[in-house]
Amino acid sequence: MGSTHNAISYGCALVVSLLLLLLLPLLGEAKGCDMFTGRWVEDASYPLYDPSKCPFIRREFACKRNGRPDLDYSTFRWQPQGCKLARFNGVEFLEKNKGKKIMFVGDSLSLNQWQSLTCMLHSSVPNSPYNITTKGTITTFTFQEYGVELKLDRNVYLVDIVRKKIGRVLKLDSINDGHNWSEMDTLIFNTWHWWSRRGPSQPWDYIQLGRNVTKDMDRVTAFKIALRTWGKWVDTVLDTHKTRVFFKEFHHLITRALWGEPTARSCAKQKEPLLGTSYPGGLPTEVRVLKRALRKISKPVTLLDITMLSLLRKDGHPSIYGLGGRTGNDCSHWCLSGVPDTWNEILYNYMA
């Protein structure tokens, strides 16, 4: 009898232990999971939504509608090492964020992520009424039934551009637009791509720091100063007990030689991700600058460290199926559905 009882007890303990082992990979951030180191795996249950059923999707991201014939790029899931991301649940997201305001602030990659999240949520509640309004630089997508506002502020430098007699001036030590951000419940910031722009697409004529005005300066240095200004704004103005702050990393333009495909025509006709867990070219200098800047901020800012996982996705860009069509070759933005959905799944895991 005693041996039977011991055997049953041992069996129960074994079952419990196995269940715990199975559950551990699902606990994500709570158990210190590194969500940003991993690999892309094919998953027949992806994509999370059909982009053709997202009625407000912008043309530059609608690769399927623009004629892209292969759709395998949308069937990959990000698999972190040692854990598993909780699958995005749009209804749960809306319920947990009832009455709240979530804002993306940055450049067109912020637009890409914001558009992704609006499509992900709409596909979860397709019959729920929504409203889209634009005032100045801010576009607001409201899920009226839940009172959830998803906002986008197109502020590509985070610091100010002002008009003076001499022309347009990029002020590295000024953030007057911060009043648009301080009342949000969640903020997701992003900047870099515009810092390297020159010529007609550059939206300023001079750079100012303090009283010093100059025609130009080293762009990485300017970027570093602007991040310092933004960090001071977070520390002095933002109430992080009320507002959770994220900063989304960025990726530089992909380089085909680093894929081991020197004859490839940029990102055009790429149909598969890079294998493995690291990008052959390593991380760009600007990422290290950003990480150093964030470490100097005393208030909590969560880094969405998505550069590496994004660089692996040479197949996920619009290329000729973006805004420019066959006369363009967009290797900066992302098809939807696609990689930005993963950024939002990671955001969802942090916010859960």
* Residues in contact with 75: Cβ distance below 8 Å, sequence separation at least 6, in sequence order: 42, 43, 44, 46, 47
Backbone angles phi, psi at 297, to 5 degrees: -85, 130
pLDDT at 352 over 60: yes
- Local structure of residue 253 (DSSP, 8 states): P
Mean per-residue pLDDT for 304-309?
94
Amino acid type, 171: K
pLDDT at 10 over 50: no
Reduced to 3 states (helix: H, G, I; strand: E, B; else coil), residue 164 is strand
Percent of the chain with pLDDT over 90: 78
pLDDT at 16 over 70: no
If one counts every other C-beta atom within 10 angstroms of the C-beta of residue 304, the result is 20
Pairwise pLDDT comparison (262 vs 66), residue with the higher score: 66
Q: Give the CA angle between residues 139, 238, 130 to the nearest 5°.
A: 25
The pair of structure tokens assigned to 216 is 């130009």
Count of CA atoms in the C-beta half-sphere (13 A) of 145: 11
User: How far apart are alpha carbons 233 and 238 in whole angstroms?
Assistant: 7
What is the pLDDT at residue 225?
A: 98
pTM of the model: 0.89
The pair of structure tokens assigned to 37 is 């180191």
Percent of the chain with pLDDT over 70: 86
DSSP secondary structure string for all residues of 111-153:
HHHHHHHHHHHHHHSTTS-EEEEEETTEEEEEETTTTEEEEEE
What is the pLDDT at residue 285?
A: 85
Confidence category of residue 279, pLDDT binned at 50, 70, 90: confident
- Pair 280, 260: CB distance under 8 Å: yes
pLDDT one-digit tens code per residue, 220-277: 999 999 999 999 999 999 999 999 999 999 865 555 555 566 656 578 889 999 987 7
Most confident of 40-44, 278-282, 308-312: 40-44
Pairwise pLDDT comparison (257 vs 299), residue with the higher score: 299
Backbone angles phi, psi at 70, to 5 degrees: -95, 140
The pair of structure tokens assigned to 133 is 């309004």
pLDDT at 150 over 90: yes
What is the pLDDT at residue 262?
A: 60
Reduced to 3 states (helix: H, G, I; strand: E, B; else coil), residue 302 is strand
If one counts every other C-beta atom within 10 angstroms of the C-beta of residue 332, the result is 19
Give the closest residue to 155 by CA, choosing from 224, 104, 121, 100. Answer: 104
What is the pLDDT at residue 321?
A: 96
User: How far apart are alpha carbons 196 and 289 in whole angstroms?
Assistant: 15
- Local structure of residue 319 (DSSP, 8 states): B
For the chain, the domains span 33-351
pLDDT at 28 over 60: no
pLDDT one-digit tens code per residue, 38-56: 999 999 999 999 999 999 9
pLDDT at 165 over 60: yes
Looking at the annotation, which residues are catalytic? Answer: 108, 330, 333
